[in-house]
Chains A and B, each alone.
Chain A
C-alpha cells in the first residue's frame, strides 16, 4: 500500500518535471512582453492574449518552416531506414572482409561532433550544388542518423533465427524478399525506434540548416525561431508560441509509434 502510494508520488513528480517546460512554454506564449519582463510574471496561461498571439504568428511564415522541417525529418527518416536496413542486414548476415571494421566505423561517425565537419561539408556541398537545398540537408542529417539506425536494425536482425530465412529461401523467396517480407516485419519495433531517432534528428536540425540554407523560405522552424533573437529585442511570446506549434507534429509522430517502440525495448526478453 505504502509502496503503491510512493510509486504514484514518484510518477506524478516525474510527469510534472517532464510536463512543466511545455506548460511554461504555453504560459510564456500567452503572456505579453510587458508581463514577461516585469517581476509580477503570471504563472498560468492568459487565454485572453490568444488572439494577439495568433496575430503575431500569422506575420511569420511558420507554415512554410514547419513544412521544411517536415521534409528534412521525413527525408532523413526514409533515407536512414531504407539504407540502414540494407546495411544492418549485410552486417548481420553476410561474412565479408572488413565486416568488423565497417561495424567499428559506424561508431566512429558518432564520435565526431557535427560542428567539426560543417566546414568540409560546406566545401563539398558547394561543388555538388547541394547548398541551399533541402535534399542536401537530408543527406547531411541521414549521414549522422544512418549509422545509428543501421546498428539498431543489425542488433535486432541478429536475434532472428537463421532457420526462418533459410525456410523462406527454400520456399522460393529471393534475398530481397526475405528482407522485406520476413526480416523487417519481425523487427518492426526496432524499425520504429530507429525511425523515431532519425525523425527527431531531422526535425530538430539546426547547425547544418543555419549554415547551408541561405534562403529564408527554405529554413526549417528551428532556424526560423532562432532568427527572432535580435540584438535589442526578442519577442519571447511569439517564439514560445511558434515553439509550441513546432512541438505538436513531433509529439504526434511519437505517439503514433510509441507503442511499437515500447515493444522494441522489451523485444527479445521473452522467447516468442
Chain B
C-alpha cells in the first residue's frame, strides 16, 4: 500500500467541526503517530481512514484512488480498538480466525444456523487453521487458543486484538490508543512489542495516542493535532527539538518545554519584576516574546554560579535524575506564595542532588538551545541562530 493522501479532509458532527482541512501524505511502511489531547479529533481521523465514519468534505485517497464513502470491509485495513473489541462469546482461536472466515464466507452462509455450521467448517479448513496457529505462535497465544476473552488478562487481550489485525496481512494497520487500558509496566512492554511488530511486518502503521512517550518512542513521524487542526508534522526529533508553536512545546516532553515570558532591556533579557540577565545570542524582534528551553538544557547551579537568580520550589526525585522546579527571583526577595507550575522553570539534572525547598540557586543556558515563540500568536520565531526544520 498504498500511499495515503488526505486532501483538505474535514469532519463535522452537525455544527461541531472536529477536523478542519486536514492534509497529509502517509507513505508506505511508515509508523505515523497521531498525537494530541483528548477530543482533538485524532480518533475521528482514524475512523475516517477505516471508513467507519463518513468524510464531510475533502478527499481521502489510497494510492490515488478516491476512497470516500467506502465500506469498512472494502478498504481492507486492520483496526485495533482501545477496548480491543474482542468477540466475548468466541474463543481466542475464533476471534483470531474471524477475519479469514469472513473473507471465505459466501452470501448465503450468513443465514442463521447455516452461519454457525459454515463458520465451524471454515475454522477447521487447513489454510485458516494453520494461519491462525502461526499468528498465535508469533504472539505467544498458542496456549490460550481455546479460552474466552473474559478469562484473559489485559495484555493477553491486547495481543489477541493484534493477532486478529495481523492475520489478514493487511497493508495498513490502524491502532486507536491500544495501550491506554494497560498498567504502566505492561504498557512499556507492549510498546516495544508493537514497535518490533512494525519492524517485522514492514507495513504502514497509523497509531493514535495522547501519550507523548508512546509517540516519541515508536513513531517514524508524528502529526500533532489540537482542536481538529494540525499543529505540526515531523519526526520525533524535530517535534521535540523545534516545536512549531507553544502548544507543541508544552504538549511534548515531560516536564514540558519551559516557556518564559521575557522582555528585552538594553541587550539583556528580563522577566517582569523579577530578574534580568545577559543573553548572548540573537533575540527576535517581537513585542511579546517567549523564551523556550527544554528542562535538560537548563544548567542548574548553586547560587551565583549562573546569571539567572532563582529559588528551588519543587523537587521531584526520579532515581536516575532529579527534576527541579525553580522560581525566578531576586536574591533576598520574599518567597512567592503561589505554586503554579507554569510560573516555574524546570531543570532536569542527572543523579540525586541534596537540595531543599526555598534554597537559592542559579540557572544558565546556551543561547543555541533556545527556541523563541511569539507570545501573542504562540508561533515559533526563526532567528539567524535557530536552525529551522
Contacts and interface: CB of A to CB of B under 8 A. Distances in A.
A25 B99 CA distance: 56
B110 A163 contact: no
Interface in A132-190: 161, 163-164, 166-174, 176-177, 180-182, 185-186
Contacts of A172: 73, 99, 102-103, 105
Main secondary structure of the interface of A (DSSP, over half): helix
Interface residues of B, number: 29
Pairs A-B, 9 closest by C-beta atoms: A167-B85, A163-B85, A172-B102, A171-B99, A172-B73, A169-B72, A177-B110, A185-B89, A163-B81
A135 to B, nearest CB: 21
A167, A176, A182, A272 pick with most chain B CB within 10 angstroms: A167
Contact of B52 (A166, A174, A180): A166
A269 to B, nearest CB: 15
Contacts, number: 70
Interface of A: 161, 163-164, 166-174, 176-177, 180-182, 185-186, 272
B85 A180 contact: no
A172 B168 CA distance: 11
B52 A182 contact: no
A164 B89 contact: no
Contact of A186 (B52, B83, B88): B88
B87 to A, nearest CB: 6
Contacts of A177: 102, 105, 110, 115
Contacts of A169: 52, 71-73
Given A169-B52, A170-B72, A171-B164, A272 B102 contact: no
Contact of B77 (A161, A163, A170, A173): A170
Contacts of B77: 170
A209 to B, nearest CB: 29
B89 A173 contact: no
Interface in B94-134: 98-99, 102-103, 105, 110-112, 115-116, 119
Nearest to A166: B52
B50, B81, B150 pick with most chain A CB within 10 angstroms: B81
21 contacts: A161-B83, A163-B81, A163-B82, A163-B85, A164-B85, A164-B86, A166-B81, A167-B79, A167-B87, A168-B98, A168-B102, A170-B77, A170-B79, A172-B102, A172-B105, A173-B98, A173-B102, A174-B73, A180-B111, A180-B115, A181-B110
A41 B72 CA distance: 73
A170 B89 contact: no
B230 interface: no
Contact of A166 (B85, B86, B88): B85
Nearest to B161: A167
A182 to B, nearest CB: 6
Contact of A174 (B83, B88, B110): B110
A169 B119 CA distance: 16
A199 to B, nearest CB: 18
A168 B83 contact: no
B78 interface: yes
Contacts of B52: 166, 169-170
A166 B71 CA distance: 11
Contact of A170 (B73, B83, B111): B73
A170 B50 contact: yes
B73 A161 contact: no
A33 B150 CA distance: 60
Contacts of A185: 89
